[in-house]
Amino acid sequence: MTHDVTHDSSGMSYGDYLDLDTLLDAQHTRAVPPQHDELLFIIQHQTSELWFKLVIHELRSARELIAADQLAPALKRLARVKHIQATLSQQWTVLATLTPSEYAQFRRFLATSSGFQSLQYRIVEFMLGNKNPDMVKVFEGRTNAIAELERELHEPSLYDVFLQLLARRGLPVPPELLDRDWSRPYPASEELVDVIASIYRKLDEYWDIYETCEELVDLEDNFQLWRFRHLKTVERIIGMGRGTGGSAGVPFLRRALEQTFFPELYAVRGRIAEGTIGS
């Protein structure tokens, strides 16, 4: 008697497990008459949101693990996030096949919607430390979204819990960085650059912390690459015109490239390059 590998006595199919009926029925085009390229636009953004969901899942776990002094599994989480970031950046090449003429065929049907309104993207930025209470106002009228964003706004960022770990390891992290209003933007500290420099000066003593510093730099580097690919894709499709929902488009995205999550991890590089981190 042959075994039918497609049969499952529980009645659970591949489609059932992944809830594919729901997932594949979530692409609702709006253009009238229908436009071929609108499906690309929808799927591009839906898949990005799915990846953001996993990024949030991994970052929350990494934050909890760092808070529990478990750096090894935390670094595994961050390594996975880096691979997701690479996938998200590569996805822009698919959307970049959309020409200005093709986008113009359905753009008006987006109405006031905009990627600027992505709750999950904003949560990721908050988790990495780019806190801005004004961003909560973007979600006015969406009670659940505001509640979730407010919770994250008042949580310490990934960097904040890392600095707390440094303090527990006996490093002289400035006290004002350890006990502050987490909802406010992170205040860069020259004193902390000295602390980070001591880590880079004594690799044998602080190897796991040093490795975490470099993982965080990777995260920011990847995030900036994603921002840049976003900027260039938008510029390719709409030029310097305004984005949907009244957003500023390319100028806004260009300003975002100046934002940094972990300023001291970059400042210390200047000291190393200049040979001024001491002995």
* SS3 of residue 20 by DSSP: helix
Q: Would you say 244 is a known binding-site residue? A: yes
Q: Give me the pLDDT at residue 255, please.
A: 87
Average pLDDT over residues 202-216: 97
User: Which alpha helices (H) appear in 37-134, and where do they start and end?
Assistant: 38-67, 71-95, 100-104, 119-128
Q: Give me the pLDDT at residue 164, please.
A: 98
Decide if pLDDT at 245 tops 60.
Answer: no
Q: Would you say 43 is a known binding-site residue? A: yes
Q: Would you say 42 is a known binding-site residue? A: yes
Residues 131-172: pLDDT tens digits? 999 999 999 999 999 999 999 999 999 999 999 999 999 999
What's the chain's average pLDDT? 92
Q: Would you say 44 is a known binding-site residue? A: yes
- Extract the tokens encoding 261: 């999550």
How would you classify residue 275: left for phi > 0, otherwise alpha for psi between -120 and 50, otherwise beta? Answer: left
Average pLDDT over residues 212-223: 98
Q: Would you say 233 is a known binding-site residue? A: no
Q: Would you say 109 is a known binding-site residue? A: no
pLDDT band of residue 248 (cuts 50, 70, 90) is low
Q: Would you say 103 is a known binding-site residue? A: yes
- Extract the tokens encoding 100: 């200005």
Percent of the chain with pLDDT over 90: 83
Which of 87-101, 187-201, 203-217, 237-251 comes out lowest in average pLDDT? 237-251
Domains and CATH numbers, the chain: 32-237+245-274 (1.20.58.480)
| pTM score, whole prediction | 0.91
Q: Give me the pLDDT at residue 145, please.
A: 94
Q: How far apart are alpha carbons 198 and 174 in whole angstroms?
A: 14
Decide if pLDDT at 279 tops 50.
Answer: no
- Extract the tokens encoding 4: 């039918």
